[in-house]
Amino acid sequence: MKTATHRHRLADYRNLQYLVTEKGVFMMIDGEWKKSSVVLKDLKPLDTPIDKKHNSGERVLVGTHCKSGEVLEFNSLADAADQDFTYNGIYKCLHEDQKTHNGYTWRWAA
């Protein structure tokens, strides 16, 4: 299975995962890689360090899927709670009361 290689430079789109190949830029949609109209200059490699703060001035919350390695970034715990995650589940992971929530490990970006 192909894995993401890039993420978007803009904070509003950082949760989206992109695969860059010689054939173009692809975006993960419903579990499949689909051709994207995004241009390479709008992306940065996943191995580029995550900014400590988004435009909101708060730390970045990072969720990593245990099986696929998919990385999600949120401006806050509340933003993650709006996306099929619970505040309490993530909070418990951040405070090491449990290991995962909805298949993801959770941490604050360094």
41 and 79 co-located in one domain: no
The confidence band for 87, taking pLDDT boundaries of 50, 70 and 90, is confident
Residue 72 has pLDDT above 80, yes or no: yes
Q: Are residue 103 and residue 72 in the same domain, yes or no?
A: yes
pLDDT category at 42 given cuts 50, 70, 90 is: confident
pTM of the predicted model as reported, rounded to 2 decimal places? 0.50
DSSP symbol at 55: T
Report the alpha-carbon distance of residue 67 to residue 46 in Å, rounded.
17
Residue 49: pLDDT band by 50, 70, 90 thresholds? low
| Spatial separation of the C-alpha atoms in residues 33 and 35, rounded to whole Å | 7
Which residues form the domain of 84?
A: 61-108
Within a domain: 51:
no
Residue 67 lies in a domain: yes
* Structural domains of the chain, count: 2
Question: Would you state the torsion angle of the CA atoms of residues 11, 30, 81, 38, taken in this order, to the nearest 10 degrees?
Answer: 10
pLDDT of residue 56 exceeding 50? no
Instruction: Name the more confident of 12 and 62.
Output: 62
